[in-house]
Structure formats: C-alpha cells, structure tokens
Structure 1
Amino acid sequence: MLTVDFDRLGVGPGTKVIDVGAGAGRHSFEAYRRGADVIAFDQDVAELDNVATMFEAMAEAGEAPESARAQAVVGNALELPYEDGTFDVVIASEILEHVPEDDAAIAELVRVLKDGGKLAVTVPRWLPERICWALSDEYHANEGGHVRIYKASELRRKIASRGMKFTHTHHAHSLHSPFWWLKCAVGVEQSDHPAVTTYHRMLVWDMMQRPLLTRVAESALNPVIGKSVALYFDKPAVNVALV
C-alpha cells in the first residue's frame, strides 16, 4: 500500500533514493523494484532486519533489476549520516508526526537532497487525525506515538521555508480512516472486536484484489477523508538564498 506517487518522483534505474523512517519498507521495496539504488533508513532495528531480509528475497526472486542496490541502515533522522546533496529523491512518509524536533528533521531531509532533486513528505491528514485523537488518547499518547497534528498548509510552509519549491499535493487511503475511527472508538488494542476484524478483512481484500468498486470509492472519498496527505517539492537547481 503506497502513499507516495513514484511516477511523479521519476524513480527509475540508477535513481539514488533514501526512504527516511522506512518502517516496514513499503516505499523502499517499490523504489528497489523500479531499479533505484535505495537506502531504507530507520531507528527500529527489528523492522530494518525484516526489510533487509526482504531485499535479499527480492533480489533472489528477480523482483528487482540486477543493477539496483538496496540497503537497510539504522540511524537518527535528525543526524543523517550522508553528505549534502547525496540523493536524487528523498521520501519521508508518516514520520514527521512522530518527531518532536520536526524542523531539524526537515532540515536534514533537504540537506541530503541534490539540487534539482525531489522530496515527498506524507503525514496523517488533519481531519481524520483529529477525530482519532478525540476518540482515543491511547491512539497517540504512547511512546513513539504522534506528537502533533499537521495542517497541510502549515507543513507546506515549513518545508518551503527551506528553499524548496512546492509542486503538488494529494490525499490517500480514505478507506483506512473509518478503520482507525472504529479502533479508536472500541479501544486501539481491541483488535479482535467484531467490527474491527470485519472492516480489516475488507481492507485486506481491497488491497489484494483491488476491485473497481472500492478503487472508485476511495478515489471519490480521498479529497474528503483521505487518511494521509502527500506533499511534493523540488529542490531548485540553483539554491535560493533565504531571507
């Protein structure tokens, strides 16, 4: 389940990509399939062990071009261990809402991006997230949980202030918003609640089968209740001096 539009980012053979806050690796795997040289970067060692194992399995199964390279790297998003302008594409999907020092994290995302490169950032959308917070403290008030709710305009200004040019936005995963509202209403840990398990089965069916009905429904609902908002930026080929 991808939140980022890889066609818009132009990811292909030889593209240098870093997926910051890679988690379980969904965006890293897509970049690898497309032939990119990708780094899945996260602080969660266990998650990255699984990502590294999947990279190896993909290579053995021929699911990625032989020329592509993939690596899982453990580290801190506030101190990316790479030189300025290392990557053609930087992805940060569903990470900034977890980071207290989000301005410092944004600065690092921009720093390691090449002039002329592309940045994609996604976060939970304001309205669906606000409903989750209203229904459940447990949803966000936990170790590593969400520390803020962004308005897209606020995040856009934060990133643009670093000299980045905003290019596009879209919403995604509207069918997932009601699922999380259900979980928050019955208790986030109550995964065996009948309403939650029934809706979860529908989501799995949708992701596996991708039927026309749910594709049309999600497309229509994304502008209204899309769970995530994605923002895209270009780094100017010639840096613009900040005032």
Structure 2
Amino acid sequence: MLQIAVCDDNIDELSNMVQLINQYRLSKNINLDYAAFSNGFELVSALEKGKRFDIYCLDIIMPGYTGIDVANEIRSFDKNAPILFFTSSSEFALESYSVKAINYVLKPISKEKLFFTFDEMLEHVKMKENDDAIIVKSNEGIQKILISNLVFAEVIGRNVFYHLLSGKVIECTESFSAVCDKLLKYKCFIKTHRSYIVNMQYINTINNNQVTLQTLSSVPIAQSKVREIKQQYLAYQMEDD
C-alpha cells in the first residue's frame, strides 16, 4: 500500500487535495492511504517519531516550516522518495530542484492536473521499484524487497535477517556472502562488520564501536574498519548532496 503525506496550511486547499487523492484512488483502483497535515511542524514531528511515507505532497509557502524546510528534513533520511510541490507561487521553482522534487505544480489544483501529475509520478515509482529491488526466498515464500525499504541485513548462524523500514524482519536461509555481493552493487550499502551490511541512507551516527540507524537500531563496526567506514559514508553523503 502506498502511503502519502499531504501538507498544506490552507484548510480548503488541504481538503481539496484529500478529495482529489480519494478520487484518484477510486478511479485508478490503487491501494493507497494518506495522512493530512495542516502545517510543516506536524509533518516534521511525525517524521521525527519514525513515521515514513512513500510520497510527499507539500505546499511551499507555510509559516514556520516551509515546504522547502520539510523537504530538507525528508532528504536527510530519504534521498529518493518522490516530493511534489503544490504552490500558488512560481518563485520557489529553483529551490524545489535543490531537494530533488519530482514535480512543481501551480495552484489551483484541478482534478485533471492532479491526475496527470500522479500518473507521471507513479510511473516513476514503478520504474524505481523494478530497478532497485532484490528477490529473496524467505520462510513465507518468494518476496520482493525494495532497496529503499531495506535498512540493514544481518546473519545469525545460517539465517539472514532483512530488517525493513516498516519494522518487519524477513528471515531467509542463504549465504551471507552472496547477500553482500548482491547488495554491494548498490552504492548505498556498506559492510560494517562480518555479520552486518547497512543501508547508508538510514545511518544517523557513527562512532568507534557502532552505527546508530534512524530506526533506533544499532549495528557493530569492525574495529579495523572504523576509519574506512567513516570515509565511505562521508563520500556517499557528499556524492548525493
């Protein structure tokens, strides 16, 4: 199910967006849910508590936390989630590109405009899902894991455990070396320890003993790799910025 965040301080505009998203869901028969926020503070507070969305629809001109501010918060932990800006002013178009927004749509938002924008965006999401995913054979059967949803993987005995952003853990019996070979093809992964591989997108802090993730999980660091891991993480962040 797609999770969509909608944020606008204008209650009428927010209500209009919610109605149009409902119409889109019914028209396209898409399994999606949404959460509406009447200001940037509410959305940022939800994000700080660990709430995550697949798509963010943001007004730009809001008191306190602007849409650009909220987008910067999102990009601090998620480099890829589609961000759509809906605004009454075109003056922030250039700034919207700095946070890699997928689209910038001027108000008023009509049914035709929203449907067209969402069609384009979901096609983009579909392409990303097809490209950036792995297939695993778990105890529950064959499963597809999106790279953007995988926080880290660990091996315990002969079993590999995939820890997802949602909190779900998928258990598989497979070679951890094969898992690492598969995941290290993606630039966002780093092997911090012989038993752990981590998605750098979700790293919060690194010290000399462990990596703390944004999900509040911690994984150990091999003492011989501390310097290398810190350098690799810094290079990853600079490349994405």
Same fold (TM over 0.5): no
- Larger fraction in strand: 2
For CA contacts below 8 A with separation 6 or more, give which structure has more relative contact order: 1
**TM-score, normalised via structure 1 length:** 0.31
Q: TM-score scaled to structure 2, two decimals?
A: 0.31
- Greater C-alpha Rg: 2
